[in-house]
Amino acid sequence: MEQLYREQQLQVRRRKRKKVPVGERQPLLRPAQASQVWSMDFVFDRSAEGRVIMCLVIVDDATHEAVAIDVERAISGHGVTRVLDRLVHSRGLPQVIRTDNGKEFCGKAMVAWAHARGVQLRLIQPGKPNQNAYVESFNGRPRDECLNEHWFPTLLHARTEIERWRRGYKRGPTQESNWRDDASCLRPTSCQHRYHQPRTLNPTATQGGGTSVLFPRMRC
């Protein structure tokens, strides 16, 4: 294809990649209470006819609770904001939402939504999924315990089974957490924190909302 363009002396306009500006580094404390920081990510599967199933996973960083798992064929930036608006009535909104740099999370729809509601967006560095480790570590649970265990003939069936799994999901005790089970009064009991400082990103500065990238190492 490139050879044909050269022979005809045609030029193809190439898209310029957006460069995410780098800000100052800051350490991240694990949230002391529920609903302070949420992390979001996508998990993918396919239904029986081979069509994509897209799951928006929202996890509370403090409690590791599955706040919501929204299941659709496709989810845009506007779709993400609609899910978050539905959660306002039952859960309220967090102070901070952490995501990767996917177009659904750092596009105009999400940036405008966060700015209007006073929610801070924190975007991790590209190619650094470990900086979103709370939701990344959670994603294996629905895949192993639900998606890989079911054959979904329809989208409705997928929604039903995934929501049933989410409601029944209980985070077991681990060496890295020591929390009470009641989500309404979750507080950390004892934990020693060790931190490293990744690069801070601020892609929404032009919209009036600052973002940062932070990730803890913890030893309990």
Mean pLDDT of 169-190: 43
Does the predicted model carry a pTM greater than 0.85?
no
Sequence-ordered list of residues with C-beta below 8 angstroms from that of 126, at least 6 positions apart, any chain: 20, 100, 101
Q: Are strands 200-201 and 22-23 parallel, antiparallel or unpaired?
A: antiparallel
Closest by alpha carbon to 132, among 51, 41, 6, 27? 41
For residue 14, what pLDDT is reported?
61
Q: Spell out the domains of the chain, with CATH numbers in brackets.
A: 22-168+193-219 (3.30.420.10)
Least confident of 4-8, 40-44, 108-112, 157-161: 4-8
For residue 146, give the 3-state DSSP assignment.
coil
